[in-house]
Structures are given as structure tokens and as C-alpha cells.
Amino acid sequence: MINETLTMIPGPTPVHSRILGALARPTTSHVAPSFVEEFQQGLAGFRALGQSETAQPFIVAGGGTLAMEMALVNVVFPGEKLLVVSHGYFGDRFGDLAASFGIEAEVLKSEWGRAVSPGEVASRLEAGSYAAVTVSHVDTSTGTCAAVEAYVEVLRGRPELFILDGVCATGGIDERFDEWGVDVLLTGPQKAIGAPPGLALCLFSERALARRKSRSRVPAYYADVMRWLPVMLDPGKYFSTPCVNEIVALAEALRLLHAEGLPARFARHRRIALAVRAGLDALGLKLFTAEDCRADTLSVVLLPEGIADAAFRKEVASRGVVVAGGLGPIAGKAFRLGHMGNINAAEIVEALGAIEGGLVALGVPVTPGAAVAAAAPLL
Ligand SMILES: Cc1ncc(COP(=O)(O)O)c(C=O)c1O
């Protein structure tokens, strides 16, 4: 028997059977009319997910990191300055990327588990001269959700381009590309969208595309959006063979997502986050992330004193549920529980049950059934 495990890490998230079914459809030519139609639907569904009428979507084989690279190299040029607002490991990655392309990055870092205040962003912008600002909507290492709407007020009307990393947010937390004046929204399919990994997804504003077009070339080939633009405008055109099955699966994931409806989907993510946290609290577990900046898409949970990370996650996995370890300074001290995408109440109950069982097996005194009893009424 093949053991089915419930993957409750902060991405990839469990893939709904309808999306898996789409993935398993026979691979067609990348210019077959049926595929071109799916690709168009995927592009339109992604733009609608960003609540945009005007953005240019890009769907390219790769990953979230390629999407970060596409966002950066097409709008910030070597020798220019970039302000990176970082809430952890993935925010810092923009600094590394910038360094690889000769872009001078200034990283405005929060303490891990806390958020950079809009006032700090405002003072940096007043003091410096930047081509763009990057913000990770949710940093998957710390569980911090950035105060994007407050940053938007700071950025409105300013010349710096606004790059928003939605990899751990898009599809689970409200993102309003046009209204917020985002210039590049980048994301991946494998988290709150609920599709398998393997794609880089970007929305570009007119201003961002104009910035790219102001240069004849950028230090990239595959990540140069001008090579992809003709394909995105007419998916029957060729630049590099698209990953046919994954794009069909993404199109299906986006149909499911829009059938649920964005407000209902965001509300479900909020409800599940609150339920999970009530359950964890009933087990005596504390969250790492400060209360005022917790994301709805994952929880970063401190391990009880004396409980070894590897032993805990092994016990949880033996009960059919996989959670992720901590990253960077909280490696070994915390675990990360994803609760985003197409997960449902039954899966949350299963995850809490496995966490409770793992704690009991390691001798932590918990009241049997307490987590589910606390979470269930909120689901
Ligand atoms: C916020 C954030 N940005 C970027 C990435 C990079 O995405 P990928 O691992 O698909 O390259 C991740 C991955 O987890 C992420 O969480």
C-alpha cells in the first residue's frame, strides 16, 4: 500500500484531485488549439486573481525564484539602487539577487517575527534614491505578513517601482494590483493557488513594462520579459517550450479558485488560520510571529522546551502529516505549518490530531482532543 501523506508544509500544498486530473491529461503540442485556449484561460485567470484589468501576465516554466529574478532584472538596472523590505529569508533573497546583477540593494530588515513599520519605509525612501522597492507579502520563513496596504499609502505617487512577492500570499490573502499601484506582482502556483510547483508567475504594470522597454537589453535571456511578451499576447507563438501539463493544471486551479470566489477564499483562509491557532493554543503551543503581523497562510510554531525538532516532525509524519522545520535562526526551535490553498476543515482536524499525537508520544502533557475541540467550532 502506498501511504498517502497530508503535506501541511508552507508549499507545495495538497493538490486537489481535479487539478491532478488536469495535470495528467495527455501532453499535447504546445501550439495545439486546445492548449492555446488553456494557456489563455490561465493568463486571464491569473490577472483576475491579481484583481487587475490592465496588468500583463507572464506564465513561465521555473519557480518563485525565477519570478523574483524576472521582476527585478526587467525593471532595475545594474548600478541602480533597490530598497528591499525584508521580513526574513525570502525578503533577504532579493538582496542576493540584486548583488548577482550589479544592483545596489539596501535591505531594511525587521527583527525575525516582527514587521517593518510603514514609517521606516517612508524615512528610507525620503533619504535615498531608489529605482524600486521590494516587499514580500508573506515571508514563509517567519510567518510575517507585511502591512502592504499601509506601505501602499507611503508609495502612492512616488517614482519608485513597487515589486510585491506574493509567493506565500497570492490566492489566500487579498492582493489588489491596480488599486494598490503594484508594478510587479510575482508568485508561484504551489502555495495558496494550490497547483503543483514548476511555474514563475508575474503581473507587470504598464509602468513596469515601459521601464523594461526603456532599455534595449537587460542582463538576462530566459528571464527577459520582452522575449516572452509575444507568447503571452498570443500563446500560439514560440519562445521556449512551455510546460504544457503544468499550465493546464494551473488553468484548472484558477478555475477552482474563481469558482470559490476571491472574497470567500480569503475569508476561508482567515477562518482556518484562526481555527489552527486556537487548536495550537489549546495544546499549549506558542507562535513565533508577533500577533500584529501573522499571516493567514501559515503558522510558525515554537517547539516546547526540550522537544527536539527532528523527533517531533518524525512523530507527526508517522501519523500521516508532514510539517516543515524552521529556517535560519529558528531552525530546530520552531516548525512551520502551512494552511493555505485548497485545504479543508477535515485536513485541519487531521493535522491538529497528528500534532497532538506527536506531542503526547514525546511526553508533553496535553489534554487529549483539546486541539480539535478548540478549532472545530471556528472552521
Ligand atoms: C515568499 C517567497 N518568495 C519566494 C520563494 C521562492 O520560490 P521557489 O521556491 O518556488 O523558487 C518562496 C519559496 O518558498 C517564498 O516563500
Kindly report the length of the chain. Answer: 379
Q: How many domains does the chain have?
A: 2
Q: Looking at residues 234-258, what average pLDDT do you find? A: 98
104 φ, ψ (degrees, to nearest 5):
-90, 105
Please indicate, yes or no, whether residues 270 and 359 belong to a single structural domain of this protein: yes
Q: Are residues 226 and 316 in the same domain?
A: no
Q: Rounded to an integer, what distance in angstroms lies between the CA atom of residue 64 and that of residue 190? A: 9
Which set of grid coordinates corresponds to residue 180?
Answer: 494598490
Distance 158 CA to ligand 1 centre (A): 27
Rounded average pLDDT over 335-347? 97
- Looking at the fold, whether 308 and 343 belong to one and the same domain comes out as yes
Share of the chain above pLDDT 70, in %: 99
Confidence of residue 211 (pLDDT cuts 50, 70, 90): very high
Residue 212 sits at the vertex; the CA angle it makes with 183 and 153, to the nearest 5 degrees, is 20
Does 354 map to a domain?
yes
Contact 333, 303 (CB under 8 A): yes
Asked if 315 contacts 357 with a C-beta cutoff of 8 angstroms, the reply is: yes
CB of 63 shorter than 6 A to ligand 1: yes
280 and 314 in a single domain? The answer is yes
Domain that holds residue 247: 17-260
Residue 90 placed within a domain: yes
Domain boundary (196, 230, 260) is at 260
Tell which residue, 64, 344, 353, has the closest CA to residue 198. Answer: 64
- Determine if ligand 1 sits within 6 Å of the CB of residue 188: yes
User: Is there a single domain that holds both residue 91 and residue 160?
Assistant: yes
Which of 59, 96, 168, 246 for mutating ligand 1's site (highest number of atoms within 8 Å of CB)?
168
CB 64 less than 6 A from any atom of ligand 1: yes
Q: What mean pLDDT is reported for the chain?
A: 97
Residues 213 and 92 grouped into a single domain = yes
Residues 251 and 268 occupy one common structural domain: no
User: From ligand 1's centre to the CA of 167, what distance in Å?
Assistant: 6
Q: What is the CATH number of the domain that holds 181?
A: 3.40.640.10
Ligand 1 near 284 CB (within 6 A): no
Q: Are residues 197 and 313 in the same domain?
A: no
Cβ(175)–Cβ(191) below 8 Å: no
Instruction: Give the number of the atom of ligand 1 that is nearest the alpha carbon of residue 137.
Output: 1
The CATH number covering residue 348 comes to 3.90.1150.10
Q: Is 329 in the pocket of ligand 1 (CB under 6 A)?
A: no
Q: Is residue 1 part of a domain?
A: no
Both 284 and 317 in a single domain? Answer: yes
Please determine, for residue 1, whether its predicted confidence score (pLDDT) is greater than 90.
no
| Ligand 1, atom nearest to 66 Cα | 11
Residue whose CA lies nearest to ligand 1 atom number 5 = 64
Q: Is the CB of 89 under 6 A from ligand 1?
A: no
Task: Determine, yes or no, domain membership for 224.
Answer: yes
Residue 195 lies in a domain: yes
For residues 286 and 336, state if they share a domain: yes
Q: Is 351 inside a domain boundary? A: yes
pLDDT confidence of residue 4: 80
Cα-to-centroid distance, 10 and ligand 1 (Å): 10
Asked whether residue 99 falls in the same domain as residue 183, the answer is yes
As to burial, measured by CB atoms within 10 angstroms (0-12 exposed, 13-18 middle, 19+ buried), residue 114 is: middle
pLDDT band at 249, cuts 50/70/90? very high
65 lines ligand 1 (CB under 6 A): yes
* Cell matching residue 317: 509524519
Are 224 and 293 contained in the same domain? no
- Contact, 247 vs 29, CB < 8 A? no
Cis peptide leading into residue 12 (ω within 30°): yes
The atom of ligand 1 lying closest to the CA of 11 is 14
**CB of residue 52 inside a 6 A radius of ligand 1:** no
Q: Is 86 exposed, middle or buried (0-12, 13-18, 19+ CB in 10 A)?
A: buried
The domain boundary, picked from 208, 239, 260, lies at 260
136 CB within 6 A, ligand 1: yes
pLDDT at 248 over 70: yes
Please indicate, yes or no, if residue 309 is contained in any of the structural domains.
Answer: yes
Average pLDDT score over residue span 245-266: 98
Give the tens place of pLDDT for each residue, 130-178.
999 999 999 999 999 999 999 999 999 999 999 999 999 999 999 999 9
In this structure, the residue with its CA closest to atom 4 of ligand 1 is 64
Please report the atom of ligand 1 found closest to the CA of residue 63: 10
The 10s digit of each residue's pLDDT in 17-71 is 999 999 999 999 999 999 999 999 999 999 999 999 999 999 999 999 999 999 9
The pLDDT confidence band at residue 3, using thresholds 50, 70 and 90, is low
DSSP string, 304-351: PTT--HHHHHHHHHHTTEE-EEP-GGGTTTEEEEE--SS--HHHHHHH
Residue 75: all three cell numbers together: 525593471
- Average pLDDT on 245-267 reads 98
Last residue of a domain, which of 235, 260, 285?
260
Give residue 341 CA to ligand 1 midpoint distance, Å.
15
Q: Whose CA is nearest to atom 16 of ligand 1?
A: 140
62 falls within a domain: yes
Q: What are phi and psi of 335, to 5 degrees?
A: -125, 160
Mean predicted confidence (pLDDT) in 227-240? 98
Mutate to test the pocket of ligand 1, among 140, 190, 327, 340 (most ligand atoms within 8 A of CB): 140
